[in-house]
A = this chain, B = another copy of it.
Amino acid sequence: LRFISVNGHRTELCSALDRGLQFGDGVFETMLCVDGVPLDFDEHWARLQQGCERLGIAYPEVRSEVLASVRDCGVQRSVAKLTVTRGVSERGYRSPSGIQPSWVLMVSDAPTHPTQDTGRGVRVKMCSTRVSIEDPRLVGVKHLNRLPQVLARAEWQDEYHEGLVSDPEGFVVEGCSSNLFVVSGNALITPDLSRAGVWGIVRRKVLTHAALAGISCEVKRLERADLERADEVFLTNSVFGIVPVASIEHRSYRIGPVTRRLLAELCTGTYF
């Protein structure tokens, strides 16, 4: 950890009465920072605000403070994680009027992109942990209720790069900390996230870019059979951009032309 601040103060300490701790009552953003500047910062900031609005949290006006802190760390490639909670209150779900949000900023060194050294895609596990089917106001929000991801991540150690999670009905939703794309022929398919999942920034970038580039993309309830049938598979998240998948359990995939094109047009020179 290079840096941590709580409500703008250089401390690791916060109140144990924070509703983030009591209820997971908050949201967070994780951003790759290059030369002290978070990639896609406007998009991350907009999602943070939208998440706060959905939960009824008064988001803090700390945009420039966050940017200054990340810049002042002086790390060439870092990951900044910003957490915003509803604030501090006593026992009980009811939120007192006038509660002030809390925010925590952490900056750590960025990990290396998983394909950088090997040039190969990554190994992916099918997790047995199910992600929740949520209230429409919670679906998509990068909120702090992340126990399904914690349980899923505990299903493997270093033998996989990522694990895929399904919802309780068995539809494949996403990776533990990434979104999922499948290439079938020349078309993209990505899971419908209207009942479960996180609406990733890079997922949206890929969807927008595909539309502009004339690559058709279907958003649908994804089944295990869609993974079997796929020609290429890749993952997206804000730390790595696009990550090509070499295998899901025993099924292997090549890094095909669609993945290579999107890597070149969206990621090369920024995420790695």
What string of 1s and 0s marks CB contacts (under 8 Å) between A89-105 and chain B?
A: 01111110000000010
A139 to chain B, nearest CB (A): 9
Q: Please provide the chain A residues from 19 to 48 with a CB less than 8 Å away from any CB of chain B in the complex.
A: 19-25, 28, 30
State which of B14, B104, B129, B146 has its C-beta within 8 Å of the C-beta of A137: B129
Query: Which residue of chain B lies nearest to A128 when distances are taken between CB atoms in the complex?
Result: B135
Q: Are A21 and B85 in contact (CB under 8 A)?
A: yes
Asked if A138 lies at the interface with its beta carbon under 8 angstroms from chain B, I say yes
Q: Which residues of A, 135-170, contact B by the 8 Å Cβ criterion?
A: 135-138, 143-154, 167-168
Residue A212 interfacial (CB < 8 Å): no
Report the bound CA distance from A14 to B177 in whole Å: 26
Q: In the complex, are the beta carbons of B149 and A23 less than 8 A apart?
A: yes
Residues B129 and A132 in contact, CB atoms below 8 Å apart: no
Tell me, rounded to whole Å, the shortest Cβ–Cβ distance linking A145 to chain B.
4
Q: Please tell me how many copies of the chain the complex holds.
A: 2
B132 touches A93 (CB 8 A): no
Q: Which residue of B lies closest to A6 (CB)?
A: B16
In residues 228-243 of chain A, which contact B (Cβ within 8 Å)?
none
> If the complex has contacts A1-B90, A154-B95, are A147 and B79 also in contact, measured as CB distance less than 8 A?
no
Q: Does A55 contact B (CB under 8 A)?
A: yes
Known: A16-B104, A168-B195. A147 touches B24 (CB 8 A): yes
Q: Which residues of A contact B (CB under 8 A)?
A: 1, 4, 6, 11-25, 28, 30, 55-56, 79, 81, 83, 85-86, 90-95, 104, 106, 108, 129-138, 143-154, 167-168, 176-177, 195
Q: Report 11 cross-chain contacts, Cβ distance below 8 Å, ordered by A residue.
A: A14-B21, A18-B21, A21-B104, A23-B149, A25-B147, A79-B91, A81-B91, A91-B106, A129-B137, A133-B133, A135-B168
